[in-house]
Amino acid sequence: MELPNWKKLFVESNIPEKLAPLKELSKNLWWVWNTEARELFQSIDEEIWEECAHNPVVLLEKVSYQRFLELEEDKSFMARLDMVTGLLKKYLKDRSTLPAPQIAYFSMEYGLHDSLKIFSGGLGILAGDYLKEASDSKVNLIAVGLLYRYGYFKQTISIQGDQMANYEAEEFSKIMVQPAFDKEGNWVEVEVDFPGRTLTARVWEAKIGSVSLYLLDADYEANRDEDRFVTHHLYGGDNENRLKQEMLLGLGGIRALKKLGYQSDIYHCNEGHAAMIGLERIKDFMTDKQLSYAEAKEVVRASTLFTTHTPVPAGHDSFHQDMFRAYMEHFTGWLNIGWDEFVMLGKTNPAEDHFNMSYLAANLSQGTNGVSMLHGEVSKDILKHLYEGFLPEELNIGYVTNGVHYPTWAAKEWKELHLKYFGKDFVDNELDFDLWDKIYKVPDEEIWNLKKQLKLKLIDYIKHRFADSWIKRHENPKLISEVTNKLNPNALTIGFARRFATYKRAHLLFRNLDRLSRIVNNPEKPVQFIFAGKAHPADKAGQDLIKYIVEISKRPEFLGKILFVQNYDMNLAKMLLQGVDIWLNTPTRPLEASGTSGEKGVMNGTIHFSVLDGWWVEGYKENAGWALPLERTYDVQDFQDELDAETIYNIFEDEIIPAYYDRNEKGISEKWVSYVKNTIAQVAPNFTTSRMIRDYQERFYYPQAERTARLVANNFALAREMTIWKAKISKAWDAIEVKEIQITDGLTNVLRIGEEYPAKVVLDLKELSPEEVGLEMVITETNSTGEPLLVESLEFKVDQQEGTQCTYQLNLHLMDPGAYGYGLRIFPKNENLPHRQDFKLMNWI
Ligand SMILES: *Cc1c(COP(=O)(O)O)cnc(C)c1O
């Protein structure tokens, strides 16, 4: 018998000529934050639009030819298509030339849209929002990341409450990426050396408005199987795979930009994962411009910014040095340095056996920043071992508080209201805080009804999504209908959704179940909680927590009152943040570096209730949210949890619930609306990505670009000069001798307030000049745990010089009573140093 001989046949979707602009529109992710464009796609076929999870590329493949022919004849559709295409065209034209400096941004993940599965949570969504904002704010920025075949998982919850992680392979033809070509029209590929072989990656491009995001992909024939795995999973595989990914992102990323013809001014390393960009760039300066290692490092540091996101030392990526050596030793040849010097780029002390990527990033960056004011301080403590001799407070580690992209996260309904009351040009003037203030002019009823409408939308959405998932896992139909019937669009609704890491303490609310039951089951003042979030597949504790909440949600007294909705993604986040009344966050202090979901809430009039941690330390205002205090009361976490849970119940019972149900004759809570207004006027404006990107420009990009330009001018003249100078100082430093120190009168250490005490120090500077050697007195107080805290540093003046001996003098003049400690130290001085830690040399004397 003849067997059938199957041959392949492809039927490509065929879009009529007149509708071709739809295809163009679908390829630029601009539609993600443009309401008109999204509504245009939706109107093609609402059902398919939902089915394909709002992915227009898939939508256009699935829609029937018949439907396209209909649309072609539909005058109103064609007019809207014309209008939206015009909007994008104008948007891109306004951004066709952008001013320097150009920023090259590197991140392991980007959360742009659910269909592009290259993110897992907060870090990625932040990076995605940032690219959108760069485009909106006309910042000259390009970005580099990895394109994962499986990306991050979709979450389903079993009937027992177990999290199941489903990874689905992505077909790259079905997402908004295209091959990236070089000038000759070749698909760009880059290579990275692995032990005994070469990893090859091809480069894809995603368009985000005017921003190009280049994504490296190793999963194709060029590589052997185990190397194709390198870009399969985000945060998957073992530590060795992570190293391979980070080599590809850092080394491969720079190689890709070079092949694409970019010469960026500033390199922004978002988290330590991409820190190897610095190594590759040093290598390039050495080979292409014949700089020495030290000279190249000067230029690379000046033009690199490192943003750290992690508040605990263990959260920073590191690799055992033996494994690291197997992959990276060849680099010492490029950099012309020995292994010991090379490996110290990722260590604070030769005895450490791990190479730390955050240390590498910090060592190769002039600027380092945390992601909120508090996290900036925490980061100083985490990175302080890199800067022995300095007090943590002195470290040049700044902060830029994270923000969120308004056009992505604000509900359409709010955007309309803002346009009506804040003015047509509001979208381009988010930083004009006076505009936000106009929220006080909006009638209470309009705001109350808007919130009500959004909550209704959320409850509808959840009912569908929830029922679907429960039916799929064969829950008892009676249970399902009971839950969906009990969900109440008029109840005070609280949202809690984020990654299920134990430090986020989702369990806190459940410490006293009787009390919680009383709160949610008050018939006059009902309350409901909606939970969502994924736990990392390796995080058993996080998964147990999900299971626990799912179990509680099935108890009779909590049915329909406590809900866990599976697969937290950007779309669910949007629905929740726009629809709930309160966003709750209960992290363990100070482990929330910034947090951003609450920021998405406040621009939607969703009131925030959180521990004073991360961004909320800066955001909280009285009558515009609720806060758990910043200071820890107990060192024992369990006591602290108990106290915090108690406080949360009290605040709900005494403040939140009464305020929400305090209704006037129209059924509106004026008090509540006033909180919403305060939230929008006083909190939201400061936590947009507009504000965030401006801060990055002013605090880092502009000053660093300016200094880099000075270093590289005239064939790197200043970079070379600084290198020579640093070498000279280093060589002569240890020879400096202290000849004499006179601080107080020598009889007593008690100073009287307001009086001046001349202090004098004589140094023999040997080969150095007094302009190059500074001397200062560092005055400290002791904190409760016995550590010195900086009060102030007072620099001595050079009084006289005889030969190589130099007298430094200072008039001590203290104004506040107290017991102080003081120390003296010498440090190298040069007006071209950006900050003290740029040249870490110094001595306490
Ligand atoms: C915003 C967002 C996050 C981050 O929220 P945090 O409050 O920073 O933890 C995570 N996941 C999704 C889907 C989000 O939209």
Phi-psi region of 780 (alpha: psi -120 to 50; beta: other; left: phi over 0): beta
DSSP state letters, 498-537: S---GGG-GGGGGS-HHHHHHHHT-SSS-EEEEEE----T
161 secondary structure, DSSP code: S
pLDDT tier, 306 (very low <50, low <70, confident <90, very high otherwise)? very high
Minimal-distance CA residue to ligand 1 atom 11: 121
Q: Which atom of ligand 1 is nearest to the CA of 499?
A: 9
Q: Which residues approach ligand 1 with their CB closer than 6 A?
A: 121-122, 125, 498-499, 568-570, 573, 595-597, 600
pLDDT tier, 342 (very low <50, low <70, confident <90, very high otherwise)? very high
User: Ligand 1 centre from 121 Cα, in Å?
Assistant: 5
| CATH architecture, domain 406-687 | 3-Layer(aba) Sandwich (3.40)
What integer pLDDT is reported at residue 1 of this predicted model?
A: 64
User: Ligand 1 centre from 374 Cα, in Å?
Assistant: 19
Minimal-distance CA residue to ligand 1 atom 8: 595
Q: Which residue has the tokens 């800066």?
A: 618
User: Ligand 1 centre from 461 Cα, in Å?
Assistant: 19
Strand partners, 211: 208
Write out the two tokens for 300: 């690379």
What integer pLDDT is reported at residue 521 of this predicted model?
A: 97
774-805 tens-digit pLDDT: 999 999 998 888 888 999 999 999 999 999 99
Indicate whether 641 pLDDT > 80: yes
Indicate whether 749 pLDDT > 80: no
How large a percentage of the chain has pLDDT more than 90?
Answer: 87
Task: Please name which of 705, 722, 710 lies closest in space to residue 303, comparing C-alpha atoms.
Answer: 705
Mean pLDDT of 27-38: 97
Hey, where are the domains in the chain?
Answer: 17-93, 104-150+177-382, 406-687, 734-844
Q: Name the pTM for this structure.
A: 0.96
675-704 tens-digit pLDDT: 999 999 999 999 999 999 999 999 999 999
User: Ligand 1 centre from 394 Cα, in Å?
Assistant: 32
User: Ligand 1 centre from 597 Cα, in Å?
Assistant: 5
Between residues 458 and 754, which one has the greater pLDDT?
Answer: 458
Write out the two tokens for 427: 């979208």
565-605 tens-digit pLDDT: 999 999 999 999 999 999 999 998 889 999 999 999 999 99
What integer pLDDT is reported at residue 87 of this predicted model?
A: 97
220-258 tens-digit pLDDT: 999 999 999 999 999 988 999 999 999 999 999 999 999
Phi-psi region of 595 (alpha: psi -120 to 50; beta: other; left: phi over 0): left
Task: Please name which of 359, 379, 361 lies closest in space to residue 369, comparing C-alpha atoms.
Answer: 379
Kindly state the helix (H) or strand (E) to which residue 480 belongs, with its residue range. Answer: helix 477-486
Minimal-distance CA residue to ligand 1 atom 1: 597
Q: Which atom of ligand 1 is nearest to the CA of 498?
A: 9
**Average pLDDT of the chain to the nearest whole number:** 95
What integer pLDDT is reported at residue 748 of this predicted model?
A: 64
Q: How many helices (H) and strands (E) does the chain have?
A: 32, 28
pLDDT tier, 474 (very low <50, low <70, confident <90, very high otherwise)? confident
**406-687 shares its CATH topology with 734-844:** no
Q: How many CB atoms neighbour CB 736 within 10 A? A: 18
Write out the two tokens for 189: 């590929």
Return d(Cα 148, Cα 110) in angstroms, integer. 11
Compute and round to an integer the Cα radius of gyration of the chain: 30
Indicate whether 430 pLDDT > 60: yes
| CATH architecture, domain 734-844 | Sandwich (2.60)
Return d(Cα 824, Cα 108) in angstroms, integer. 43
User: Ligand 1 centre from 714 Cα, in Å?
Assistant: 46
Q: Which atom of ligand 1 is nearest to the CA of 122?
A: 4
User: What backbone phi and psi angles, to 5 degrees, belong to 639?
Assistant: -65, -45
Mean pLDDT of 368-386: 96
Q: How far is CA 606 from CA 97, 492, 565, 609, 679, in A?
A: 38, 12, 19, 10, 8
What integer pLDDT is reported at residue 10 of this predicted model?
A: 64
Indicate whether 634 pLDDT > 80: no
From 120, 578, 597, 616, give the residue whose CB has the most ligand 1 atoms within 8 Å, as the site to mutate. Answer: 597
From 114, 125, 615, give the residue whose CB has the most ligand 1 atoms within 8 Å, as the site to mutate. Answer: 125
Q: Which atom of ligand 1 is nearest to the CA of 573?
A: 15
Q: Which atom of ligand 1 is nearest to the CA of 126?
A: 1
Return d(Cα 156, Cα 534) in angstroms, integer. 9
Phi-psi region of 567 (alpha: psi -120 to 50; beta: other; left: phi over 0): left
pLDDT tier, 12 (very low <50, low <70, confident <90, very high otherwise)? low
User: Ligand 1 centre from 804 Cα, in Å?
Assistant: 61
Return d(Cα 770, Cα 795) in angstroms, integer. 13
Q: How far is CA 715 from CA 96, 710, 831, in A?
A: 30, 10, 20
Contact criterion met (CB below 8 Å) for 130 and 104: no
Task: Please name which of 730, 734, 736 lies closest in space to residue 806, comparing C-alpha atoms.
Answer: 736
pLDDT tier, 489 (very low <50, low <70, confident <90, very high otherwise)? very high
Contact criterion met (CB below 8 Å) for 368 and 383: yes
Q: Which residue has the tokens 């292994």?
A: 339
Residue type, 432: D
Minimal-distance CA residue to ligand 1 atom 9: 498
From 372, 498, 575, 584, give the residue whose CB has the most ligand 1 atoms within 8 Å, as the site to mutate. Answer: 498
Contact criterion met (CB below 8 Å) for 103 and 268: yes
Q: How far is CA 10 from CA 13, 14, 26, 60, 173, in A?
A: 9, 12, 21, 16, 13
What integer pLDDT is reported at residue 573 of this predicted model?
A: 98
Return d(Cα 70, Cα 85) in angstroms, integer. 19
pLDDT tier, 376 (very low <50, low <70, confident <90, very high otherwise)? very high
Minimal-distance CA residue to ligand 1 atom 3: 122
Return d(Cα 600, Cα 583) in angstroms, integer. 10
Superfamily of domain 104-150+177-382: Glycogen Phosphorylase B; (3.40.50.2000)
Local structure of 711: helix, strand or coil: helix
Return d(Cα 704, Cα 513) in angstroms, integer. 54
User: Ligand 1 centre from 336 Cα, in Å?
Assistant: 43
User: Ligand 1 centre from 497 Cα, in Å?
Assistant: 8
Give the range among 12-21, 120-129, 366-375, 801-810 with minimum mean pLDDT.
12-21
Q: Provide the H-helix boundaries in 116-164.
A: 122-136
From 596, 616, 687, give the residue whose CB has the most ligand 1 atoms within 8 Å, as the site to mutate. Answer: 596
User: Ligand 1 centre from 535 Cα, in Å?
Assistant: 13
- Residue 385 class from Cβ within 10 Å (0-12 exposed, 13-18 middle, 19+ buried)? middle
Local structure of 162: helix, strand or coil: coil
Q: How far is CA 227 from CA 239, 245, 320, 329, 576, in A?
A: 14, 10, 20, 20, 39
pLDDT tier, 732 (very low <50, low <70, confident <90, very high otherwise)? very high
Q: Which atom of ligand 1 is nearest to the CA of 614?
A: 8
Return d(Cα 809, Cα 776) in angstroms, integer. 10
Residue type, 541: A
pLDDT tier, 11 (very low <50, low <70, confident <90, very high otherwise)? low
Minimal-distance CA residue to ligand 1 atom 4: 122
What integer pLDDT is reported at residue 630 of this predicted model?
A: 66
Between residues 632 and 503, which one has the greater pLDDT?
Answer: 503
What integer pLDDT is reported at residue 466 of this predicted model?
A: 82
619-633 tens-digit pLDDT: 999 999 999 876 777
Mean pLDDT of 141-162: 96
